[in-house]
Amino acid sequence: MKSFGLFVGLLVAAGVAAAPGKDYEHKVKESVAPPRGWTKVKPAPADHFIDLRIGLPQPKFHELEQHLYEISDPFHERYGAHLSKEEVEALIAPHEESVSAVDEWLASYGFASHELSRSSAGDWVKLRIPVSLAEEMLKTEYHVWQHEESGDAVVRTTSYSLPEHLHVHIDVVQPTTTFARMRGMKATYHYADEEARVVNIAQPTIPIPSAYNGQVNSSCNGSLTPTCLRELYNIGDYTPQAADVNKIACTGYLEQYANFEDFNDFNAKYLPEAINSTFDVIYINNGSNDQSLDAAGVEADLDTQYAFGLSYPTPATFYTTGGSPPFIPDDITTSDSNEPYADWLSYILNDPNPPQTISTSYGDDEQTVPYSYATRVCRELAQLGARGVSIIFSSGDNGVGDGDSDPATQECYTNNGLNETKFVPAFPASCPYVTAVGATWYIPEETYFISGGGFSNYFSRPLYQDIAVPHYVKNLGNTYEGLYNASGRAYPDVAAQGQFFWIFSGGENFLIGGTSAAAPTVGGIVSLLNDARLAKGLPALGFLNPLIYAIGAIVPDAFNDIVGGSNRGCGTEGFTAEVGWDPVTGFGTPNFGKLHDIAVGNIGGLFDF
């Protein structure tokens, strides 16, 4: 049913004047340089509809952050005392003055307060309005912009204004200045076209001291299955015990569909104990999950087959969120939604009982997301962590670069109009409230050169990195000085195998890889750790990073340290994988057996080693 506000918007789009509004004096709220790699095509159609999101300030967020770090710190007495949905919302709710000021402004355009769509905490207001009305409200001009390399198109502006008195009551308005394409892991998956190493058939196993029974089948070197990963990461025959309470999920965007027939074929060949198992699908913002084989998504199949395969029989969910670029900028297509990530966040934050582990293999260059919006998205992820959810992201497949050309030769520039040469961090991997996963390959494990890693230009180094990261930076010396932000949040945090994964997709069986293989692998392992804790009546792990960095400092053999190799990009060799933490593979790959013993031990206070 159309709201009165939307009806007014339609009148404006048709050239009919809305009710007289208050004559507010506007001031520029945000302005960005024309983005590199994008071309302004033409003015946006006046009747093109956008879902305008208005973010109100969260004055108590610093209190939420303090709670998050206390309940995620394994040395703190509150470890594991996760907050409820209602407690989190109380900490991020805006002041009533902000709500009233924004409501009054919107009322001047005919939007009654009770007709507005709001988030549960009231910190977001959402309007579906035509471009013509958005241009009037924000004193701006929208255009169709096209990404030169991919052909993706979006309706955006490079500057918008708000009434001056509202600047303290509104943090951000989008979609306006964000040019993120939220790449569906063309940035973070690669077909396994690298030459596989010849397996020595005279050596049936490869000795790996940290592996299950100290060895891995030699067939796993360049040919990975769930069985290989269970051996390599010392999972062995661990069987979930808390399937009644534990849950795991993967997210899907950009028309990436998880195919049930492919899932069954995968299980039949590689995980026979899971034959006839399935997963739930939740549809968000008109999402779909087309089951025709030619619509099967490689990314979606990879995520579900490995995250859900490693954690079987833990109940699993695939979130499919509608809205995807490219928007076709013609005069017939008058509506698009190419910021699906915001819709997923809105849904999951409103879920009173979200899965304890969620893996996402999508991301973009940090600099394509305006700082104001990246900050808000990152804070949404902090809310999930405070509620006991482990959020896992792939770190990207472009080394230290931006992925617009060969990683070894690409030239990387800032997106601020100055064209400075800089390494290009990824987002949301650079958010300090998520766990970012880099990539290794081969057995014994080596650095996979595509592994995204580096230092955020938006987010400062969090406290949990105050030992590991400065040590690396000090040893780096003047190398790459000026190319990265040495005081920024560093990533990835951990790594896993990221190449030569056997999957089924579209009815075909083939190899694939990338950090979008590493992320669901870590997701599956984290879900098993959550299972072990829940089975003992302990709370789920929640936000992982403070624990990871504590373990990395005290029990380093809980991760398999990767030394040597680098994540090349921007015409450089990139950062080098060193002893301990590094911005290529983090602390290394997981040793489930060691992590399991830590997870079910005296983790609520001091470690008992």
Q: What is the pLDDT of residues 138-188, one digit of tens each?
A: 999 999 998 887 788 889 999 999 999 999 999 999 999 988 876 644 335
Considering the entire predicted model, what is its pTM? 0.92
Query: Which fold, 190-202+241-599?
Result: Rossmann fold (3.40.50)
Quickly count: other Cβ atoms within 10 Å of residue 102's Cβ: 20
3-class SS at 358?
Answer: strand
Residues 6+ apart with CB under 8 A from 52: 126, 127, 128, 129, 134, 173, 174, 175
Query: Taking the mean position of all CA atoms in its chain, how far away is CA 244?
Result: 27
Summarize the confidence of residues 82-102 as an average pLDDT.
Answer: 98
User: Residue-wise over 310-331: b if at least 16 C-beta within 10 A, else e?
Assistant: bbbebbbbbbbbbbbbbbebee
Say which residue the tokens 């995980």 belong to.
Answer: 271
- Cβ atoms of 607 and 598 closer than 8 Å: yes
Residues with a known catalytic role: 299, 303, 516
**Burial of 30: CB neighbours in 10 Å, binned 0-12, 13-18, 19+:** buried
What is the pairing mode between strands 357-360 and 390-394? parallel
In this predicted model, which residue has the larger pLDDT, 23 or 216? 216
Q: Which pLDDT does position 20 carry in this prediction?
A: 39
Q: Which of 462, 466, 519, 471 is nearest to 495 (CA)?
A: 519
> Cα separation of 415 and 295, whole Å?
35
- Report the candidate in 186, 224, 271 with the shortest Cα–Cα distance to residue 500: 224
H-type alpha helices, 36-142 = 61-72, 85-92, 96-107, 131-138
Buried-state track 140-152, b at ≥16 Cβ within 10 A, e below 16: bebbbbbbeeeeb
Find out whether 365 is annotated in a ligand binding site.
Answer: no
Query: Is 50 exceeded by the pLDDT of residue 9?
Result: no
pLDDT at 8 over 50: no
What does residue 436 show for φ and ψ, rounded to 5 degrees?
Answer: -95, 140
Structure tokens at 587: 């602390």
Span 242-251, pLDDT tens digits: 999 999 999 9
406 is in an annotated binding site: no
Q: Which helix (H) or strand (E) holds 385?
A: helix 371-386
Domain boundaries, the chain: 4-58+94-174, 190-202+241-599
Per-residue pLDDT averaged across 541-565, rounded?
A: 97
Q: Is the distance from CB of 68 to CB of 385 less than 8 angstroms?
A: yes
Rounded to 5°, the CA angle 237-598-577 comes to: 90
H or E element that contains 427: strand 426-427
CB 392 within 8 A of CB 543: no
Rg (CA), the chain: 24
Which of 358, 363, 393, 332 shows the shortest CA–CA distance to 254?
363
* pLDDT tens per residue across span 381-435: 999 999 999 999 999 999 998 766 555 567 788 877 777 889 999 999 999 999 9
pLDDT higher than threshold 90 for residue 332: no
DSSP-assigned states of every residue in 6-64: HHHHHHHHTTPPPSPPP-PPEEEEEE-PPPTTEEEEEEPPTT-EEEEEEEPP-TTHHHH
Alpha helix ranges (H) inside 141-273: 226-232, 260-270
* 237 annotated ligand-binding residue: no
Residue 580 annotated as binding site: yes
Of 362 and 604, more confident: 362
How far, in Å, are 6, 78, 248 from residue 1 at the CA level?
Answer: 10, 46, 35
The CA distance from 364 to 366, in Å, is 6
